[in-house]
């Protein structure tokens, strides 16, 4: 069985993804919210992470490591601070990271 993200250092590509997410998601939601929804429906913005990974990354060699947040938690934290109706759908194929 492969090692879970829960027991791994955060990898470079994940750190880059998180940086992009933190910079881009608020601006994206602001831009999308300006579009008028059809038929006077309430605008709901959907954020879909097709490679969500684990919610927490922890250093397996450090028992005191509280871990760092993965993209599912980061997206939830970002969207909770925005004044829009935003839903996050996180998809993860690897059951060790689900």
Tell me the pLDDT tens digit for each residue of 15-30.
Answer: 898 899 999 999 999 9
Work out the pLDDT band at 66, boundaries 50, 70, 90.
Answer: confident
Partners of 86 in the beta sheet?
Answer: 45
Q: Given a cut of 80, is residue 53 above it in pLDDT? A: yes
Give me the pLDDT at residue 54, please: 77
Residue 88's beta-bridge partner residues? 47
pTM comes to: 0.74
Q: Are 43 and 86 in contact (CB under 8 A)?
A: no
Distance, in Å, from the CA atom of 42 to the CA atom of 38, rounded to the nearest integer, reads 9
Residue 1's pLDDT is: 42
Query: What are the residues facing 46 on neighbouring strands?
Result: 87
43 CB-contact burial (10 Å; exposed 0-12 / middle 13-18 / buried 19+): middle
pLDDT at 3: 52
Question: With left for phi above 0 and alpha for psi between -120 and 50, is residue 35 left, alpha or beta?
Answer: beta
Residue 83 has pLDDT above 70, yes or no: yes
């Amino acid at each position: 069985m492969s090692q879970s993200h829960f027991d791994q250092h955060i990898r470079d590509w994940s750190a880059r993804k998180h940086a992009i997410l933190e910079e881009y998601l608020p601006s994206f939601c602001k831009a999308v919210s300006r579009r008028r929804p059809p038929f006077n429906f309430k605008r709901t913005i959907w954020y879909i992470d097709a490679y969500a990974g684990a919610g927490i990354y922890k250093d397996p060699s450090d028992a005191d490591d509280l871990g760092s947040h993965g993209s599912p938690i980061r997206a939830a934290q970002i969207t909770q601070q925005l004044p829009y109706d935003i839903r996050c759908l996180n998809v993860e194929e690897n059951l060790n990271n689900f």
